[in-house]
A and B are shown apart, each in its own frame.
Chain A
Amino acid sequence: MFVIRPVAINLPALQFTVSDQAILQAVNLTKIYRSGDRDLAVLDDVSFDIEQKATCAIVGPSGSGKTTLLGLCAGLDVPSSGEVKLNGNSFKGLSEDERAALRNREVGFVFQNFQLLTNLTTLENVMIPLELRGERGAEKRAKDLLDRVGLNERLDHFPVQLSGGEQQRVALARAFINQPKILFADEPTGNLDGDTSQRVIDLIFSMNEELGTALVLVTHDLDLAEKTERVIRLHSGKVQADSNAVIA
């Protein structure tokens, strides 16, 4: 595997990226949890890069550290050691708010349990990422995206009024509204049945394609993993195998 390492210049007030190759870089990530007086290494020296527009699946047995890894990559958590760079910007040393801002700019999320705000309508849920940064025109974009996922009739419905598949499609629209460079999905079909899953998966891949977003997908589903260009297999917190387009 050959990757051109990007050269990032970090100046105190100014951060910009020279490389346009790797959107996500995980460098020697280690995550250790203390339980009692024992240290538990959930992730142990994990490194990989994800290029722009690439698709990648993270697979592995339950408890192998997939979700932990995803959390670190998205800047939701801080590694015990190692570093994550998003689009060349390191999470290292950033405050909670700065990490949130970086996420807001670069990252889209899809979760197993959808994570829609239950008191907000479909439309309002989708607009949040843009509204959080005080951007105008959120409504227009949100409507376009909801149209794209086939829910333009359900703008004023609340999550409880939608089926699981529909909720996940709303989540997808929300994930793409800020035109992220990378989409993280943790078991996006884990709570859906076969047919519904298929529809959501198709949407994820096609929208990814259209918008030129990189995709990092955590899944148990090997069929799903097959659809990605690359599979990273975790075992006990270590990268056991990492291949482009593994054919099982």
Chain B
Amino acid sequence: MRQGFFKSLFSGWTWRMAWRDSRRHRGRLLLFSSSIVLGIAAMVAVGSFGQNLADAIEVQSRSLLGADLQVNSRQDFTEEQRELLDSLGEERSYQTTFSSMLHFPLSGDSRLVQIRALDGEFPYYGEVETEPVDGFERFKKGDGVLVEENLLLQFDAKVGDFVNIGAVPVPVVGALKTVPGENMVFATVAPRVFVPDDVLAASELIGNTSIARYRVYFRFDSPESLSAAETELNKIRRKNRWGVDTVEERKRELGNAMRNLNRFLNLVGFIALLLGAIGIASAIQLHVRQKLDSVGVLRCLGGGIGQTFAIYLIQAGALGFAGVIAGSAAGLAVQRYLPLAFQDFIPLEIEFAIHWWPVLRAAGVGFGICLLFALIPLMQVRRVSPLIVLRRSVAQIGGKDIWVGVLYLAIAAGVTGFAISQTRRWEHGVGFVVALAISILVLLVVAKFVRSLARVFIRSWWPFVVRQGMANLHRPNNRTGLLMLALGLGTFMILTLYLAQYGLVAELLPNEENNKPNAILFDIQNDQLAGVLDILKSQELPIVDVSPMVNMKLKSVKGEDVRDIARRPRRLEGDDGPPRRGPRGRRPPGWALRREYRSTYRSELASTEKILRGEWIAKASFDDEFIPISIEEGIARDLSVDLGDELVFDIQGLELTTKVASVREVEWRQIQANFFVVFPAGVLEDAPAFHIVTTRVADAEASARMQREVTREYANVSSIDLMLVLDVVQSIVSKITFGVRFMAFFTALTGVLLLITATLNSRYQRFREGILLRTMGANRAQILWIQFVEFSLLGIMASFTGILLAVGGQWALSSFVFEVDFKFPVFPVMAAVGANYLITVLVGILGTWGITRHPPLELLRAEA
């Protein structure tokens, strides 16, 4: 006859009772439920966004490439190859791409761009979008060039203006917005300029440039002919050093990348959810504490343990449910804007559609986590002795509650399980959970420390308000732990992302103390070198370094033809290990064998180089039996060569036999012309060479002046300065981190929400205290000061702990993962502390609002 827990859960009376009993608390319970809203919103948004992405990839898959298949090469296609390529597919488009300077005669500015020539009907799928819309058509008719939209904006140029390609002036017929299959980030690094063939021919740039890329786009009518062509191409791709890309492959790659992004964002959102769940737990804890009497009365009147528990479980569930509903709605609203945060990376149009399954899944995970956390304090309901109706302070019934232990285990398992499901690697999932647990633990330990400090350190001669404020930190029902978590975790997340971004960018920043070069000019031909150097001298720019660059290919390594080496089996007999590059006997990677070696010759070591082994040889001649060269340690390892080994290079048909005389270490991070292979002086002087000159410009203006002058005189010479590179890198990094920060923001906001709810919460508790103080004669200012002291201490301690965690995490990341020097940006971090502190104190002060504004008597009545 007694109603057990499950029966009660489905009894109408239990629900009615839960409803009745929640009267007067409903507003507050709803307020508490807000702490998970953002966490749920984050997860719902990411989940639904992920589904939309997947759909977009599926639907727009063919425009991922703009064609069915593409072949890429670093060499122009030979007649023979063209013949073969022309036999494949229904339609083809050839595209040639190389770097060169684009000159804006109106402003006189120049900028390194990616020049493209295109024939055929590409794109076969999707559109090349331009402004005005007929731009691409007009380009195809040969009316003029298409220039990256951003570039036009940057140089204040517009459609209709003339630009110079090489020395040829040509009108801009459109601002280029998107090309199927290419994303904005890519375009930021190398702005695209589509140039008609005749203009290109007139500019004479091709052939005068060192790096060009060649590509063919194919359209196929049937999947059969496509796969036949694939088979055909796969047979010859290695030999020709071609890259072959298909829609399927692109789809798979993009799908993987997007899923990874999605999972990562989901994890970031999950932190907000966890913080919110902790907030819920602490709210329920408070709620239960206030309900102990009611529970006791019910038990006394004959209510069963399960029956009373069910009542409060329903209340907690309803609270969680309200949060989940609000969160899901907010998430769907936010999801509209998520694509904005990531659109530059995604070569797709993302449609906004609501997908119920991901929403339900995220809401379900959120509700589950929230309920698990709420159950921990709820368990106390089961342990209330009915004796409480006779005596306030009674021990709980029963011994140790194993259910609480079970719950903690369930939470740990649930959280870890979710993390692993998102990271897809159990080590990463566990790592995530451990890192999170450590952060939470550190914050809680600090909170404990703060509490005992507040207790131990108070001195009786301190001002009354300071003593009261500090006492509030350790008094019963204090919120110190929760607030430390809320504030600290938010600070930690935001700062970690900031520091990671800062660390990566700072790594690239030029070192101001010394005279390191920050601008580089390249593709200078033999007969142009003197002229270029003159221009630099006339502008009083230092010539930091001049390096000739000779293109060559490897013919043989240690007497073995590279083609034979490339055909060698990956594994030798009796070698079971995975194929690795490096040790002798294993096959060097194909790219090291086939690549175009851009080598230099000189008689001294550069400042960025260090001899590891062997001897640096300054001069040699063709009369020598072999030519002593210096080789970079990494490529030496890849090629499995060391001191004394023979390498034969092919320079436009001329074979050069060399021997490794020294192995160098090169500091690649410097902006400097760095080389894998350095020849001694006296050998390559007559070989066809390009020259690279590095210099140092003081500012953007000096850089522009130099580039303008050089481009005017020598249209084929390209130049770029580090400031520009940095700008680009910074914009890319900040785009990446923006998306992530967008998600991390949910955690920080949840922290603020928790701060607000906890303050309002303690407001209920502190109400009487405040009134009491007021009736005893405390004035408004004193009450404000008390709150100020308490929240100041909280804000400062939480910020510093958050920073400590972030710095610790960053140090670990930069030392072990990125392997860069750890840098600490003092000002932004201090700004973060300040902001955190201000928010905390502000919320704290606002929390006293009603208490100080009304006369005490009025409050006594209202609260009675």
Contacts and interface: CB of A to CB of B under 8 A. Distances in A.
Given A109-B389, A119-B20, A119-B22, A134 B294 contact: no
Contact of A109 (B17, B301, B303, B864): B301
A105 to B, nearest CB: 7
A28 B298 CA distance: 29
B305 interface: yes
Size class of the contact patch on chain A: 35 or more
Given A71-B390, A103-B302, A115 B3 contact: no
Contacts of B304: 96-97, 100-101
5 contacts: A71-B390, A76-B387, A104-B303, A132-B298, A133-B3
A98 B303 CA distance: 10
Interface stretch (A17-25, A81-89, A123-131, A197-205): A123-131
A101 B13 CA distance: 17
Contact of B298 (A70, A128, A133, A178): A128
A132 B21 contact: no
A120 interface: yes
Interface string B279-314: 000000000000001101111111111110000000
Contacts of A97: 2, 304-306
B24 interface: yes
A74 B864 CA distance: 31
Interface of A: 67, 70-71, 74, 76-77, 96-98, 100-101, 103-105, 107, 109, 111, 115-121, 124, 128-129, 131-134, 160, 174, 178, 186
A132 B389 contact: no
Contacts of A105: 302
B23 interface: yes
A124 B302 contact: no
A107 B13 CA distance: 22
Interface of B: 1-3, 11, 13, 17, 20-25, 293-294, 296-307, 385-387, 389-391, 397, 864
A29 to B, nearest CB: 15
Contacts of A133: 1, 3, 302
A117 B295 CA distance: 9
B318 to A, nearest CB: 15
B13 A134 contact: yes
Given A76-B385, A128-B298, A115 B293 contact: yes
Nearest to A95: B305
Contacts of B1: 101, 133
A119 B17 contact: no
Given A117-B297, A119-B21, A160-B864, A132 B387 contact: no
Nearest to B296: A115
Contacts of B387: 71, 76-77
A124 B864 CA distance: 21
A119 B294 CA distance: 9
Nearest to A74: B300
Contacts of B302: 100-101, 103-105, 107, 129, 132-133, 178
A13 B3 CA distance: 18
Given A115-B297, A133-B302, A120 B2 contact: no
Given A105-B302, A119-B24, A120-B20, 10 more contacts: A71-B391, A76-B387, A103-B302, A115-B293, A115-B389, A117-B294, A117-B298, A120-B23, A131-B17, A133-B3
A119 B305 CA distance: 20
Nearest to A108: B301
Nearest to B304: A97
A27 B397 CA distance: 23
Contacts of B390: 67, 70-71, 76, 111, 186
Nearest to B23: A119
A148 B389 CA distance: 25
B3 A134 contact: yes
Contacts of B25: 119
Nearest to A218: B390
Contacts of B13: 131, 134
A186 B388 CA distance: 13
Among B299, B303, B390, find the residue whose CB has the most chain A CB atoms closer than 10 A.
B390
A13 B660 CA distance: 97
A103 B389 CA distance: 14
A27 to B, nearest CB: 20
Contacts of B298: 117, 128, 132
Contacts of B391: 67, 71
A63 to B, nearest CB: 12
Contacts of A128: 298, 301
Contacts of B303: 100, 104, 132
Top-3 shortest CB links A-B: A104-B302, A119-B23, A97-B304
A100 B299 contact: yes
Contacts of B301: 103-104, 109, 128-129, 132, 174
A187 to B, nearest CB: 10
